[in-house]
Amino acid sequence: MVKEKIAEALINGDVEKGKELAKQALDEGVSAKEVLDEGVLSGMEVIGERFKNFEVYIPEVLQSAAVMNEVMEVLKPALAEIEEGESSTKGTVVLGTVEGDMHDIGKNLVALMLEGAGFKVVDIGIDQPASKFVEAVEKEKPQVVGMSALLTTTAPKILEVEEALKKANLRDKVKTMAGGAVIDQDFVDKNGVDAYGPSATAAIEITQKLVSEVKNNAS
């Protein structure tokens, strides 16, 4: 029940209620992942649908995002415990939202989960042109580059990042992954991206796999 109430608080934009319920859920033994998937994300889904149908507008969406951020603060310590066993391969991920795109809620969630799982995340932020991804790869030498795109108009920017990495002779040194509302398996297959990440929890498993592929190639 408490998970549904968290979704409700998120939909209603009630920060205090959201925080209080998240604490209550953890106290009651509900896992942070369940709160995330069945509370936070299902609430965001409802808001997403309403935004699409013009039933709510930008201020309401931002208020729900504020609830989500506060609830995530409560969940953070518990999510960090999702960390996989000792044998998991840790590495570095450069993560950003592509040029022209301001959406960062999903990207931030991916960053949070990856950090929780023990990866170093270099978050380059929103609205980042291909050149900034290249710069970050040169500087940070990550195994994985993660790109987030939520608009039909910005999805092609992922291809620009792929091309820029090739031009800088960096593409064979990293694996790439992409996610966001308009990205799917078909898109990544057609655009030479190594993996599609449907969610922040999936991103952990994918990153683990990609990091070990890069490390195996190097050895």
Give residues in contact with ligand B12 (CB under 6 A). 41, 44, 47-48, 51-52, 58, 61-62, 65, 100-107, 109-110, 146-148, 150-152, 177-182, 197, 199-200, 203
Nearer to ligand B12, 2 or 150 (CB): 150
| Residue pair 179/198 in contact by the 8 Å Cβ criterion | yes
Minimum Å gap between C-beta 101 and ligand B12 is 5
Exposure of 174 by Cβ count < 10 A (0-12 exposed, 13-18 middle, 19+ buried)? buried
Minimum Å gap between C-beta 105 and ligand B12 is 3
Minimum Å gap between C-beta 211 and ligand B12 is 13
Give me the helix-helix angle, 58-80 and 2-12, nearest 10°.
Answer: 140
Nearer to ligand B12, 168 or 202 (CB): 202
Nearer to ligand B12, 29 or 192 (CB): 192
Nearer to ligand B12, 27 or 54 (CB): 54
| Residue pair 171/163 in contact by the 8 Å Cβ criterion | no
Minimum Å gap between C-beta 219 and ligand B12 is 25
Q: What are all long-range contacts of 107-112, with beta carbons under 8 Å and residues at least 24 apart?
A: 107/146, 107/148, 107/180, 108/69, 109/72, 109/200, 110/146, 110/148, 110/179, 110/197, 110/200, 110/203, 112/72, 112/76, 112/79, 112/200
Nearer to ligand B12, 16 or 102 (CB): 102
Minimum Å gap between C-beta 45 and ligand B12 is 7
